[in-house]
Amino acid sequence: MPANESPSQSLLEISGLRISFPSAVGLTEVTHGTDVSVTVGEVVALVGESGSGKTVTAMSIPRLLPAGASMAGSIRFDGEELTTASDERIRQLRGSQISVVFQEPMTALNPVYTIGRQLTRAIRLHDDCTSAEARIRAIELLRQVDLPNPEQMLARFPHQISGGQRQRALIAMAISGRPRLLIADEPTTALDVTVQAGILALLRQLGARHGMAVLIITHDMGVVADIADRVVVMHNGSVVEHGTADEVFYRPTDDYTRSLLAAVPSITTVDIPVIEPERPRAEPVVELTDLGVQYPGGCGFGRPRFDALTEVTFDVMPGEIVGLVGESGSGKSTLGRAVLGLTRITSGSASVVGVDVTKAGRAELRQLRRHTSVVFQDPGSSLNPRATIGQSITDPLKWTGIERRRSALAARAGELLEQVRLPSSWADRYPHELSGGQRQRIGIARAIATRPRVLVADEPTSALDVSVQATVLDLLLELQSELGFSCIFISHDLAVVEKIANRVVVLQAGRVVEVDSAAQVLRAPREEYTRKLLSAVLVPDPHAQRERRLSLTNAQSRPTG
């Protein structure tokens, strides 16, 4: 479609949308008559509390609500009523007119096809071209979304690439059909700031060139400030405020919005005195020396092996929180898993609470794991779909033998749910009945349940709105000071890292580039790479963002990990 269209023309009109799900007590309504509108080429940010109904609202547009969900209200796309349109009609719109980036990238890709196949198929569905052309286009798309050496990525299967890489693959797939409306549900949760900036630039660019409108769901106010023309704020299933970015940021009318903005951690605003590295003189709980992890390359057979980690060396003292930052695909998750002995360590050694993970047998590992705990990067796939969240939270207690009595476990489950700001009554819901952020909180609740000595948290707040995030972080710090556990905190959100970590390890392409006290690294970084990370941090201030944009966008062309 022509790019020079009057931007005032409305593309999407959602009004009075009510979505409800079957539950033990009949239908429960989760959105209560929401109104959202998007005009051509515009970027609308849908923000709000985790679980407030952002995803379901968005999914109702291309009729992708989970089975059993029912909805009422009106959705007009380009003047056409979608709620009453035929399935076939909706199908035609999908991909070519309206496409989606799903919140959880882990499970969103078909495990049995390579990235390449899934992408090229999608391309050929919308514009007829030879498979060769499609391949070229695919590579082009992967490059656009900043994926390192795309040719190789094409041959990978979903389980062979990192969270952030999957997310980008999904984005590539979503924009492959040159849609007029892109629904992006937390599209950058797994992306480090530099890549994130790149993606945002890309979206903006597509908007400008092809007049693609974007309905972006995010909890990252920085992202909002950076990209959004207009902002819609949701709370408890209703829209509580909407307006231009400036209006919402500088003249918020609703209390929730204000609390939201207030809760935003911002690296610039952080101000704690630089406590110089006088670290506790104890035995380190985690000690990594020249740690290396290799993944079998490609489809396992004969392809070159891939070095995810090389010569990683650092240690974690008791009661210390080490922030692990680095671009997507730099090996953060791999490191976390290696520490817990979940990934085979191919070289070097790792000793955790005195156990040498590289040499430990099954039994020893189990012993070790009584004292360790983990929040997985992807909330969805790390929860047993056949277990209620209550069980998921308390099973570790049973397994580690801390608590076995049913009643006690039930009580504990309730407690933990409350602690992560979920109603304790939800204990016997199943994971698929939760929102992304809610699932993530289940992951956190599970991780803290066992009162570990070492906690590995992989992007634990990536899907949480800032206010919930604040709560969770406070909770962690509180427990930390109470139990004094050590923590490897993986995050791409430097602000969060600054808030919680004593020390920071910076990874790049599987190598440690910088290790030092948080203050040191984040205030006076030595490494060029770290500086770039910092410079790419988004500030929740539309004006500031607009100014920084230019300088950032040209910093994007660099290939990443």
Partner 1 sequence: MTPYIVRRLASGILLVWIVLTLIFLAIHAIPGDPAYQLAGGDSGVTKEGLEHIRNGLGLDKPFLVQYGDYLGGVVTGNLGTSFSTGQKVTAAIGSRLPITLELISCAAVLSIIIGLPFGAWAARRRGWRDSVLSGVTSIALAVPVYVFGAVMVLLFAVTWHVLPAGGLPPFGAGPGAHIERLIMPVVTLSLAFLAIIARMTRASVGETLRQDWVRTATSIGYRPNVVFRDHVVRNSLNPVITVIGLEIGTFLGSSVIIERVFNLPGLSSLLIDGVTSRDYPVVQGVVIVISVLFVVINLIVDIVYGLLDPRTRQR
Partner 2 sequence: MNRGGIRRLVSVASPVSIAAALFIVIVVASAIFAPWVAPASPLAQHIPNRLQSPGADGHLLGTDEFGRDILSRLIYGARVELVIALGATAVAFVLGSFLGLIGAYIGSWVELVSMRLVEALLAFPPILLAMLVVTIYGSGQLTLIVVLGLVFAPAFARLTFAQTLSVKSAEYVEAARAFSAKTPTILGRVILPNIAGALIAQLPITLANTILLESGLSYLGLGITPPTPSWGGMVASGQRFMAVDPTLLIVSSATIVLTVLSFGLVGDAVRDWLDPRERKALRAR
Ligand X SMILES: Nc1ncnc2c1ncn2[C@@H]1O[C@H](COP(=O)(O)OP(=O)(O)OP(=O)(O)O)[C@@H](O)[C@H]1O
3-state secondary structure of 55: helix
- The interface partner of residue 51, options being partner 2, ligand X, partner 1, none and the CB cut-off 5 to 8 Å by kind, is ligand X
Report the run of H or E that residue 469 belongs to, with start and end.
helix 466-483
Which residues in the 416-445 window bind partner 2 by CB under 8 A?
A: 428, 430, 432-433
Counting contacts by CB under 8 A, is residue 479 touching partner 2? no
Pairing type for strands 321-326 and 486-490 reads parallel
Amino acid at 469: Q
- The interface partner of residue 93, options being ligand X, partner 1, Mg ion, none and the CB cut-off 5 to 8 Å by kind, is partner 1
Question: 542-553 and 193-210 helices cross at what angle (nearest 10)?
Answer: 90
Residue 101 Cβ vs partner 1, minimum distance, rounded to whole Å: 9
Of 16, 68, 300, 304, the one binding partner 2 by CB under 8 A: 68
Counting contacts by CB under 8 A, is residue 404 touching partner 2? no
Give residue for tokens 């300088």: 551
> What is the token pair recorded at 199?
């993606």
- Whether 282 and 318 have beta carbons less than 8 Å apart is answered as yes
Question: Which span (108-116, 117-125, 327-335, 380-388) binds ligand X, by CB under 6 A?
Answer: 327-335
Counting contacts by CB under 8 A, is residue 426 touching partner 1? no
- The interface partner of residue 381, options being partner 2, Mg ion, ligand X, none and the CB cut-off 5 to 8 Å by kind, is partner 2
Report the run of H or E that residue 372 belongs to, with start and end.
strand 372-375
Question: 406-419 and 389-399 helices cross at what angle (nearest 10)?
Answer: 120
Counting contacts by CB under 8 A, is residue 137 touching partner 2? no
- The interface partner of residue 340, options being Mg ion, partner 2, ligand X, none and the CB cut-off 5 to 8 Å by kind, is partner 2
- The interface partner of residue 56, options being ligand X, Mg ion, partner 1, none and the CB cut-off 5 to 8 Å by kind, is ligand X
Residue 337 Cβ vs partner 2, minimum distance, rounded to whole Å: 8
Counting contacts by CB under 8 A, is residue 341 touching partner 1? no
Which residues in the 19-48 window bind partner 2 by CB under 8 A?
A: 21-22
158-191 burial code (b ≥16 CB/10 A, e <16): bebbbbbbbbbbbbbbbbbbbbbbbbbbbbbbbb
Counting contacts by CB under 8 A, is residue 104 touching partner 1? yes
Of 133, 395, 403, 527, the one binding partner 2 by CB under 8 A: 395
- The interface partner of residue 30, options being ligand X, partner 1, Mg ion, none and the CB cut-off 5 to 8 Å by kind, is ligand X
Q: How far apart are the first and last CA of the chain?
A: 35
Q: Could you tell me where the beta strands, DSSP code E, fall in 26-106?
A: 26-39, 43-48, 70-77, 80-81, 98-101
* Angstrom distance (rounded) from CA 321 to CA 340: 16
Give residue for tokens 């979304």: 145
Counting contacts by CB under 8 A, is residue 9 touching partner 1? no
Question: Which span (94-102, 196-204, 399-407, 455-463) binds partner 1, by CB under 8 A?
Answer: 94-102
Compute the Cα dihedral for 23, 184, 219, 459 and give only its sign: positive
The residues that touch ligand X, with contacts defined as CB under 6 A, are 21, 30, 50-56, 66, 103, 159-165, 190, 295, 306, 308, 328-334, 377, 432-438, 463
The residues that touch partner 2, with contacts defined as CB under 8 A, are 21-22, 66-68, 106, 159, 337, 340, 342, 362, 366-370, 372-374, 376, 378, 381-387, 395-396, 399-400, 428, 430, 432-433, 446, 450
